[in-house]
Structures are given as C-alpha cells and as structure tokens.
Structure 1
Amino acid sequence: MSFTVQEVAQLLKQAKENEKPYVFFTGAGCSVRADVPTATEFIQEICKKFPIQVKNIDPEKDKYNYGKYMSALDKSERRELLKPHIIDNKKINWAHIALACLMQGGYIQRVLTFNFDSILSRACNLLGLHPSIYDFATANPHLYHLINDPSIVHLHGQGTGFVQLNTQEETLKHTEQLGDFIASTLNSNPSLFIGYSGNADEFFPLLEKKYSEQHRLIWTGRKENIDLLEVEPVKGFLKKNNNLTHYIGSIDADDFLIQLAKELEYFPPELFSNPYRFLDQQLENIQPYPLGDGLDILENLTGYLKEQAEKPLNKSLYTAVIHKYPNKESTKGLTEKAINDIMWAYDQQAHYLKSQDKFEESHKVYDQALAISARHYGCLHNYALSLATYANIKSDQTLFEKAFDLNEQAFKLQPSNADNLGNYALALSNLARINQDELLFEKAFEQFQMTLKILPNHAGYLNNYGVVLADLAKLKNDENLFNNAFEQYQSALKIQPNHTYNLACYYSIKNNKELCKENLLHAVDHNTLPSSEHLNEDKDLDNVRTEQWFIDLLERLKEKEQKDEAA
C-alpha cells in the first residue's frame, strides 16, 4: 500500500498528536540539489583523480560498489575527495529547508542521516532552529537515551569530524554497535526514509533485523514501484511487512518534502514570508546594547524591523502570499479586499514569469489564481494579454481562443475598459493575419471601433487599427480599406507627429518610394523607428528593401543599436 503526500501529512499530524513524532532517515538523495555528488558520481570522480589506487577494482562488476572504491583510498585521500563537496560547499537546497520546517513544527523528532554534509544543521540555523547535533562515528551509541531532541544524528560521521565511515569494513564494524539505538528508534517512533537506497553501506541488514512492526515505516524512492527497486533486500523487506511498511515511488526529495511541509502549513518559513518579523524575533535573544554612547544599533534596527513587519507583504513578497493561499479553500473567511490583495500577488508573480519568457509557468499561476476568484478583472485581462502574446509566438489557435474567452469575461466585468477591448482587437488581428481570415479581420475592426469610441485620441490604437485595415486591404486589394487605413494614420499623426513609421509602410505598400523614404528618415531623425530586426521582418517594406538608401539606413540603425548595447 502506498500513500499520497496528503496522506503522509495526515500520518505525521497523527503521530505528533500522539506525542510520537516521526524519525526521518536521510541519504545522499536529500543533498543532490545542493550539488553534493551521489555515490555513483563519487565513484566516477575517484576513477578520474585516483586511477592508480583503483586499478585492481573491476570497473564492470563493482561499478556501483561505493565502499570498495573508498577502501582503495587512504584516509587523507578520502578527505581530499570529500572536502570540496562536503566542507567547502555552502549551498542549502530546499529538501533540507523543508525538513527544518517540519522539525520546527514538531512533526519530526529526530533526523538520522547517512550523509557527512552539514546542510540540514545550516538550514535549521537559517530558520532560527538549533537542534542538537550528534556524531555517532565517534560518540558512544549506547548513550542514545541522553539525546536531546529535536536532534540530528550523523550515523557515519561529519565532514568536519575526525572520522568519516566510508568503506564496507568500517560501516560493518560500526553498524554492530548501533543495534540497540536503531532498535529503540524503530520501536519508539514511526519512521520515514528518504534519499537513501540501502545499497551503499552495511546499515540496511541491521534495519531489517531490528524492525519489529511496532510502528509504521515509510520508504520513498525514485523508482515508480517496489518491483523496480534494484536492491533486492530492500524490495523483500518492504513486501514482507507490507501492512506496516509502505513504498512511495517517483519521489524527488526536494519536491516531496516541500509539498509535505506545505500540506502541514509549515511552508514557507517565516524567514521568507515575513523576513522583518523573523529577524526582529531572532534579535530578541541578544542582550541590550551595553554602551551609553547614543549609538544603540540594536534598538535602531529592531525599531525599523517592527515598523516594516506591519506593512502588507503582498506588495513585495508575493510568492510567500501564494504559498500561504494556494487555493480557494485557504481564503475562506477573508474579506473581499484581502482576496483582491492575494489576487494581485498572483498577478505580479505571473507577470514576473512572463517577463522571463516563462509563459507556461506564468499561465499556471494565472490558472491557480482564477480558481480562487474567477471574476478578478486584473488577472483575466493580464492573462488574456499574456496568452495572446504567447499564441502569436507559437502561432497556436487554441491559445488565441483561450485568450479571446478571457477577454470576453473581462468585458462582462468592465465593458468600458479600453485596454481590454484594444488588446482583444490586437489578438484578433494577429490570428486573422496568421489564418488570412477575413471574418477575424472584421471582428478585430469592431473591437478597434469600440476602443476608439472610448479613447478617440489614442495614437497607439489608431495606428494599430490602420495597420490591420492595411493588412486586409492587401489581402483583398481593396482601395477603400487602404484609404481608411490612411485616415487612421493621419489621425494618429495629429497626436504624435513624429511617429511616421506606419505611414512610411503605407507608402511602401502603395509603391511610393520617395514618400516612404521621407517618412522613414523623419522617424530616424526623431528616434521613433522600431528595431532593425523589425524592419528586416516587416513585409510592408519589401518594395523598398533593395533601395540603396534603405540598405544604408538599416546599417546605420544596426550600428547605433550595437553602440547603445555596448554602453
């Protein structure tokens, strides 16, 4: 029987209520995203750095035998191998931040780790939690009853310790001394294994021997199901005790632990959700500044932090807001204003992702937002705009249609909002251009006309309307449409007389090269030309593309752009 992350969260909650919080066993898989190599990666590095030392090891038969490769190195060589990855590496990954959250929340009593790194203790300290640290490579494991929880127990030593147990012989000898401690642990609390395969040391046989089904044991791994596990003893153990031992597959430690902490409402930690209040609370542990010199740096800082902590964080830390309010259920009981603030945070995060060209991630954020409030104009309008942009890039009709639907929903909420109408018109015209669809062109015209009734002197919409009229005029070879386009350009020029690019395009289409040149050069003189890339791709200028003056203009524009970029 397997469990979902939501069910594991419920089990952790029950265990805490029963005053028997879980014990977590962590292996290398919890540190991978902090750039700590796996056992296999360490083997590869050993072969590269110490080829003479390992020349007698069979590279095929023992290609996964981490202990054997480590036993070929002396202790100094092992420290040389581990130091850059374990001691010098200061990175903290999210699996350990989530573990620290769960420890802080009382859902994990103790973490027993097979890793040498100090990532978990650093993650705990970062969040203001300072668990007891024990190194069982040098400590007396028979004194386990003196452990002060919450705690982190390094079963095979620490990177900064005097002893690190690496080889099969070392872990076997040490494991024999851990028997009572492991038996007590498994028989006192439920346990969860994560990032540990059971393959790289001699610990697993002890686990198998000492587990007596007093408490539940959950084993997580990357393989989809038990039958795909490569370590036969682990597979047999989990199947033998399948009423109380459970395998959860397809697990990435960072993803799983973050989701688990979120389900238990202990993520994100306060450091990320309200750093001002967090730091202020940490500073409460510092004794008052002792000198009467009028420079009380502690009081000055805490006063500032208290003031900042009271400000609404949705204006800056919007991802923290999203984590706190991930669905409609989480916003129950909030005022309309509070929900609007939450929606604003979603909109800001989605906008940021769009600015990074992460359109699909942005759209997932908007979908999540609209599941909370489907009638939020800002999210509807901005989501439609983003979808239309991405649809144009991908030439995807389905995305265009979804954007149109959002525009229609936004229109029902604010029928006089010209921005929504204008953006809807642009999206329609882009799809019309792709499909060469007269009906879509006509529908775009209707939207532009509605927009210009509200904002008759908006040069941007006048120009855009003119461009779309000219597009259909080309398609139909319709002089009336060309004349109508010209009228829109003329109206726009009354408002922005130096924005002559669209008029230049019009004259190019009409094969009036002299007037095209005149208007392009006017735009150059007043710095209102689009980019050289745009000019290269704009088919409206095809009639002048081979003219020497146009070639020279394009070269000058490219040189200017390069200088501006270098500056």
Structure 2
Amino acid sequence: MSFNVKEVAQLLKQAKENEKPYVFFTGAGCSVKADVPTATELIQEICKKFPIQVKNIDPEKDKYNYGKYMSALDKSERRELLKPHIIDNKKINWAHIALACLMQGGYIQRVLTFNFDSILSRACNLLGLHPSIYDFATANPHLYHLINDPSIVHLHGQGTGFVQLNTQEETLKHTEQLGDFIASTLNSNPSLFIGYSGNADEFFPLLEKKYSEQHRLIWTGRKQNIDQIEAESVKGFLKKNNNLTHYIGGIDADDFLIQLAKELECFPPELFSNPYRFLDQQLKNIQPYPLGDGLDILENLTGYLKEQAEKPLNKSLYTAVIHKYQNKESTKGLTEKAINDIMWAYDQQARYLRNQEKFEDSHRIYDQALAISTRHYGCLHNYALNLSDYANIKKDENLFNKIFELHEQAYKLQPFNADNIGNFGLSILRLACIKKDENLFKTAFEKFEISLGIQPDSLNFLGNYAIALSTLARIQQDEALFNKAIIEYQKALNIQPDDADILNNYGNVLSDLAKFKNDESLFQKAFAQYQKASKIRPNDTYNLACYYSLKNNLEVSKENLLHAEKYDSLPSNPHKHLSEDQDLNNIRQEQWFTELLERLKEKELKNKAA
C-alpha cells in the first residue's frame, strides 16, 4: 500500500492528536540540495583524491560500498574529505526548512539522522526553534530515555564532533549498542524514512530486526516502486510487512517535505511570511536594555517591528520607501542611483496593486512616482502598459492620449527598446479596435514592424501584429491582409510550434479566410490548428465549438461549448462574446444555448454585485 502527500499529512495529524508524533529518519538524500554529496558521489571523490589508498578495492564489485572506501582512509584523510562539505558548507536547503516547520508544528517528535551535517539544527535555529541535539557516536545510547524532545539525534556522529562513524566495522560495532534505543523508538511512535537508501551502512539489519509492527512505518525513495529498489534487504522488508510498511516512490526530499508542510498549514514559516513579526517575537527573549542613556536600541527596534508587522510583507517592504520619499522635495540631494531605487519601489508597489486588480490605486502610485522623476523608464513603460490594460477593459477612449504620452516619454529615454515600441503598437491597436479606425490600425502595423526589426523572433510582437492584421482584414474583408496575418502566425509557429494561443488564433484567421473564400480546404486547416491546440489545453474548446457550429454539427458544437463553460475557458466577457459571435449563429436558436446565455448573464450580475 502507498500513500500520497495529502494522506501522509493526515497520518501525521492523527499521530499528533494521539500524542504520538512521528519520528523521522533522514539520510544523505535530505542534504543533496545543500550541496552535500551522496555516498556514491563521495566514493567518486575518494577515487579522485586518494587513488593510492583505494587501489586494492574492486571498482565494479564495490562501486556502492561506501564503508569499504572510507575504511581505506585514515581518520585524518576522512576529515580532509568531509570538511568542505560538512563543516565549511553553510547552505540550508528547503527540505530541512520544511522539517523544521514540521517539528515546530508538533508533527515530528524527533529526527534521527545518519548525516554528519548540521543543516537541520541551523534550519531550526533560523526559525526560532532550538531542539535538543544528541551525538550518539559518543553518547551512552542506553540513556535514551533522558532525551528531551523535540530533538535531533546524530546516529553516526556530527561533522564538528570528535567521532564520525564511516566504515563498515565502525557502524557495525556501534549499531550493536543501539538495539534498545531503536526498538524503543519504533515501538513507541510511527516513523518515516526519507533520503536514506538502507544500503550504505550496518543500520538497516537492526531496523529489520527490531521492527515489531507496533506502529506504521513509511519509507520514501527516488525509485518509482518497490521492485526498483536496489537494496534487496529493504525491498524484502517492505514487502514482508506491507500492511504496515508503506513505500512512496519518485520522491525528491525537498519537494515532498515542502508539500507535506503545506498540507499541514505550517509552511511557509513566519520568518518568510512576516519577518517583522518574527523578529519582534525573537527579541522578546532578550532582557531589557540595562543602561539609562536614552539609547534603548531594543525598544527602538521592537517598536518599529511592531508597526511594520501589522502590514502584509509584500506591501510593507515597498511602502516603507514610499512613505519616506512621498514627493520630489523629499528626494533633494539624493544621487541619481538612489532616486532610481526609490522609483523602482514605486514601480513594484504599483505592479502589486495592478495584479490585485486595484487599477486606480496603482495609477495613483505611478502618478506620485512621476511627480518625483520622469526619467525612470520602468515606471513610464509599466504605467503605460497598466493604463492600456485598464482602458481596454473599460473601453475608455479618453485614456489613450495619456497612454501614448507615456510611451513617447519612455521612447525618448530608450529609443531602441523593442518592448516599449511593441507595447506602444498594442496600445494603438486597442484604440483602433474600439474606434474601428483603419488609420490607427496602420499606425499599429508600423510600430509592430519596427519592434520586429529589433527583435524578429519575439512571439509577443509577432502574435500582436498578426492579430492587428487579421482584425483589420475582418473589418475590410481584405484577402491580402488575411494572408499577411497567416504569414506572421506561421513565423510565430516556426519559433514555438506548441503555443496554444497562437494555434487558436491561427485557426481563427484561417477560418475567417475560409468563410470569405468559401474554401473547404481552409476550414480543414483551421480545424487542424484547433485540434493541435486542444491537445495542449484539452479544456480550451471554444474554437472547436465555433467550428462545429459553422459546419452545422450542432451536437458536437454543444458538447464543446458546454465543456468550455464547465472548465471556465470561454472568452472574456462571455455573455457579450457569445451573443455577438456570428460563428455560433447555427446554434443560436437552440434551447440549451439560450439557457447557457442566461447562466452567463446571471453569473456576470453576481460578480458585479460581489
């Protein structure tokens, strides 16, 4: 039997509620993304650095025998080998941060690790958790009942300790002393093994001997299933006890542990979600500042942290700058670089607000920024794009003069910036579509052609140019413009043949030209594009519905249109779009289509009310 992450999370939750939290056993796989090598990688390094010492070891027969290779080195050479990876390496990977979160949440009572590194203890300390640390390479294992949890137990020693157990002889001798401790652990709490293969030391036979099925045991590994596990002893053990021992395959320690912590709602830790509140809580452990000199650095800092902690992280980091530099007067005397940094903060905050669809607030931030300086390209360009999105949604012609002015100012700062020129063309195209102004379409063409002269392989510019050409082609019913649009779509597909948006739009222009020429072969080409797009995005079936409507295949059109409704893949403003799309004329009188329009209208009204 196997479990998914959600089910493992539920098991951990149940164990916590039963006051029997899980014990985790961790191996080298938990540390690899902190640049700590695996046993196999260390063997390769030993062969490279100490070729004389290992010359009598059979490289084929013993290629996975970590203990044998380590036994060929003296203790000084082992320390030389491990020091850069264990002691000098200060990196912390996300598997250990997630483990620390689970310990902090009370879901893990104890971590027993075969690793020498201190990554887990450093991750815990980073999050304000300070578990007890035990080095069982030197401690008396018979005193395990004195362990104070939550705890980290280094079964084979620590990198900074006096003893590290590496060889087969060392781990075998030590394992014999661990019997009572391991039996007590397995019989007292459920356990989970992660990042441990079971074939690099003498511990696994002890585990197999002491496991008595008192509690559940979960074993995770990179192999997809039990039969692919290299260690026959591990494979046999898991199959023998398969009612209570469970293998979860295809596991990356970092991914699995983060997902597990997320499921249990203890990730991300507060350090990342609100560092101000986190640091304020940590400083509460410090005794009051003792000197009466009026310079109470602790009180000053905690006051600031409390104020900032009340704000969301993604706002406070930028608004702190904005509050300090609210106008041009406040930036007098600052260097150009300092002013650019301030403008960047304004830009980031405005973009954050735009992503929250708070357009007016975003525009106010940009206006405040440009009152400080009109020489920041990012603010000018991103404001123009932001305002263009808003004007397009609102169909507000009056906003476009300001949009064009912003693009012009950005152009003066960076005249060869293809993004600004291409997005200028997009803004002109949007106004052209609203006004149905053929001259504006032609001006948009010019902008797209200039931007493509600078970046000929830009999918964004090719796609927008093709949309501009095909839109005017529909208005004028101009075959030459249809063909130009087709050429641009083909260029785009040569660059990115599996872009669903381009495939759908290419299908649309082929379909429009097919209607114009009454050409069945073009209809078939359009259908082929829709089919390719649907393989990439199976739920995006609106264009197929339109195609089948045109071909008078009403039942298949219905099936595809209702599928698009179910998976929310209808075009924007769906009620208006479906009401006006002439491709759907053949199904417009169908009762189910009338009911669909009513549902869309009702949904639209509910969204407006909300």
Q: Same fold (TM over 0.5)?
A: yes
Letter in 1 for 2:285: N
* 2:432 equivalent in structure 1: 449
CA deviation after TM superposition for structure 1 residue 452, in Å: 6.1
* Percent identity for Structure 1 against Structure 2: 84
Mean Cα deviation higher: 273-282 or 306-315: 306-315
TM-score (norm 1): 0.61
Task: Name which of 395, 398, 404 aligns with 1:415.
Answer: 395
Contact 1:448 1:465 in 2 (8 A): no
Aligned positions of 1:274-293 closer than 5 A: 274-293=274-293
* 2:586 equivalent in structure 1: none
Give the Cα–Cα distance (whole angstroms) in 1 for the partners of residues 69 and 310 of structure 2.
Answer: 56
The change in CA–CA distance for 1:469 and 1:85 in structure 2 (over 3 A counts) is closer
* 2:144 equivalent in structure 1: 144
* 1:545 equivalent in structure 2: none
Give the Cα–Cα distance (whole angstroms) in 2 for the partners of residues 415 and 448 of structure 1.
Answer: 8
CA deviation after TM superposition for structure 1 residue 111, in Å: 0.1
CA deviation after TM superposition for structure 1 residue 260, in Å: 0.4
CA deviation after TM superposition for structure 1 residue 463, in Å: 4.2
CA deviation after TM superposition for structure 1 residue 311, in Å: 1.8
* 1:83 equivalent in structure 2: 83
Give the Cα–Cα distance (whole angstroms) in 2 for the partners of residues 9 and 114 of structure 1.
Answer: 24
Does 1:464 pair with 2:444? yes
Does 1:164 pair with 2:164? yes
CA deviation after TM superposition for structure 1 residue 293, in Å: 1.2
Contact 1:377 1:410 in 2 (8 A): no
CA deviation after TM superposition for structure 1 residue 58, in Å: 0.6
The change in CA–CA distance for 1:87 and 1:461 in structure 2 (over 3 A counts) is farther
* 1:192 equivalent in structure 2: 192
The change in CA–CA distance for 1:52 and 1:451 in structure 2 (over 3 A counts) is same
The change in CA–CA distance for 1:197 and 1:469 in structure 2 (over 3 A counts) is closer
CA deviation after TM superposition for structure 1 residue 295, in Å: 1.1
Contact 2:156 2:164 in 1 (8 A): yes
Report the number of matched residues. 383
The change in CA–CA distance for 1:185 and 1:468 in structure 2 (over 3 A counts) is closer
Q: For residues 257-305 of structure 1, give each alpha carbon's deviation from its aligned partner in whole angstroms, at most 9, with x where no partner exists.
A: 0000001000000000000000010000000111111111111111111
Give the Cα–Cα distance (whole angstroms) in 1 for the partners of residues 46 and 142 of structure 2.
Answer: 34
* 1:271 equivalent in structure 2: 271
Q: For residues 380-416 of structure 1, give each alpha carbon's deviation from its aligned partner in whole angstroms, at most 9, with x where no partner exists.
A: xxxxxxxxxxxxxxxxxxxxxxxxxxxxx98996333
* 1:153 equivalent in structure 2: 153
The change in CA–CA distance for 1:449 and 1:241 in structure 2 (over 3 A counts) is same
Aligned positions of 1:238-257 closer than 5 A: 238-257=238-257
* 1:19 equivalent in structure 2: 19
Does 1:180 pair with 2:160? no
Give the Cα–Cα distance (whole angstroms) in 2 for the partners of residues 313 and 95 of structure 1.
Answer: 23
The change in CA–CA distance for 1:348 and 1:293 in structure 2 (over 3 A counts) is closer
CA deviation after TM superposition for structure 1 residue 313, in Å: 2.4
CA deviation after TM superposition for structure 1 residue 105, in Å: 0.2
Aligned positions of 1:516-535 closer than 5 A: none
Letter in 1 for 2:213: E
* 1:59 equivalent in structure 2: 59
CA deviation after TM superposition for structure 1 residue 444, in Å: 11
Question: Equivalent residue of 1:112, what SS?
Answer: strand
Aligned positions of 1:23-38 closer than 5 A: 23-38=23-38
Contact 2:238 2:246 in 1 (8 A): yes
Question: Equivalent residue of 2:25, what SS?
Answer: strand
Contact 2:9 2:264 in 1 (8 A): yes
Contact 1:273 1:317 in 2 (8 A): no
The change in CA–CA distance for 1:412 and 1:240 in structure 2 (over 3 A counts) is farther
Contact 2:215 2:244 in 1 (8 A): yes
The change in CA–CA distance for 1:452 and 1:110 in structure 2 (over 3 A counts) is same
The change in CA–CA distance for 1:413 and 1:153 in structure 2 (over 3 A counts) is same
Question: Equivalent residue of 2:115, what SS?
Answer: coil
Question: Equivalent residue of 2:159, what SS?
Answer: coil
Letter in 1 for 2:4: T
* 1:235 equivalent in structure 2: 235
Aligned positions of 1:368-387 closer than 5 A: none
* 2:6 equivalent in structure 1: 6
Give the Cα–Cα distance (whole angstroms) in 1 for the partners of residues 81 and 216 of structure 2.
Answer: 37
Give the Cα–Cα distance (whole angstroms) in 2 for the partners of residues 115 and 178 of structure 1.
Answer: 16
TM-score (norm 2): 0.57
* 2:521 equivalent in structure 1: none
Question: Equivalent residue of 1:246, what SS?
Answer: strand
The change in CA–CA distance for 1:77 and 1:301 in structure 2 (over 3 A counts) is same
Contact 2:274 2:312 in 1 (8 A): no
Contact 2:171 2:203 in 1 (8 A): yes
Letter in 1 for 2:305: L
- Runs of 5+ in structure 1 lacking a partner? 319-346, 353-365, 379-408, 424-442, 481-567
Question: Equivalent residue of 2:24, what SS?
Answer: strand
Give the Cα–Cα distance (whole angstroms) in 1 for the partners of residues 34 and 304 of structure 2.
Answer: 34
Question: Equivalent residue of 1:80, what SS?
Answer: helix
Q: For residues 317-367 of structure 1, give each alpha carbon's deviation from its aligned partner in whole angstroms, at most 9, with x where no partner exists.
A: 79xxxxxxxxxxxxxxxxxxxxxxxxxxxx979x89xxxxxxxxxxxxx9x
Question: Equivalent residue of 2:81, what SS?
Answer: helix
* 1:74 equivalent in structure 2: 74
CA deviation after TM superposition for structure 1 residue 315, in Å: 1.9
* 2:532 equivalent in structure 1: none
Does 1:102 pair with 2:65? no
